[in-house]
Amino acid sequence: MKDMKKNIFLIAVCALLVSLSSSCKEDELTYTGSAVIEFSPYKSQTINVQEFDDGHFISEFDAETRDSIMVSLVAPHFSKDITCKFEVLDVFYYIFETGKIVTELPDGITEGEYDEYETTAVEGEDFNFVTDREFTIPANSSFGFIDIETSNTTGDGLELLLMLVPSNDIGVSENYKYYRLEIDN
């Protein structure tokens, strides 16, 4: 009798577990926002350091190297190649109060309320892009790469500021659209 009660109890517990697990609705994890691109953390053999600070990614490249900066697609994969664009910025500012990067200082912002970063590397002398301000995210892929060759001959600590630019096919994430590359000799 004791064994029969034990068996009935085990069957009841199993039935309860099965009914609870089968009645749970499974969440569908499909991205439904607009398609955007953003700079991504990426460590290669020649990138010395990569971190995220003041609202942008920072990487250190050695001089005389060729490497890539990774850009991620935040959307379901496209069935065709996506051509993406970027530009070199002369300067950008990180505003402490808002935690945002801007390319022009707003009125009323005074020294001490922001960090200023500027491009000091010279294209054709300290670096070259393998493609002309464009890169491709291949069909059915999540990533594209900005290929860059560095040839810093003028000293340590040169900086290059990049910004992703929206196109007809894709927008840009406001969170990770800026990138700072430090070129060390």
Burial (Cβ within 10 Å: 0-12, 13-18, ≥19) of residue 152:
buried
Which region among 20-29, 98-107, 161-170 has the lowest average model confidence (pLDDT)?
20-29
pLDDT of res. 3: 62
Comparing 172 with 33, the larger pLDDT belongs to: 172
Size of the chain, expressed as the number of residues it contains: 185
Q: What is the pLDDT of residue 173?
A: 93
Strand arrangement, sheet containing 47-53? 47-53, 56-62, 178-184, 158-165, 82-89, 134-137
Identify which of 33, 37, 32, 31 has the alpha carbon closest to the alpha carbon of residue 171. 37
Residue 171 has pLDDT above 70, yes or no: yes
Q: What is the DSSP letter of 168?
A: S
pLDDT at 46 over 60: no
Q: What number is the average pLDDT over the span 104-129? A: 92
pLDDT digits (tens, 9 = 90+) for 12-38: 555 555 565 555 555 666 777 789 999
User: In terms of CATH architecture, what is 37-184?
Assistant: Sandwich (2.60)
Average pLDDT value for residue range 83-105: 92
What six digits make up the tokens of 17?
Answer: 């577990």
pLDDT at 89: 96
Mean pLDDT in the chain?
81
Contacts of 184 (CB under 8 A, 6+ apart): 48, 60, 61, 62, 63, 152, 156, 157, 158
Tens of pLDDT, residues 117-154: 999 999 988 889 998 899 999 999 999 999 988 885 66
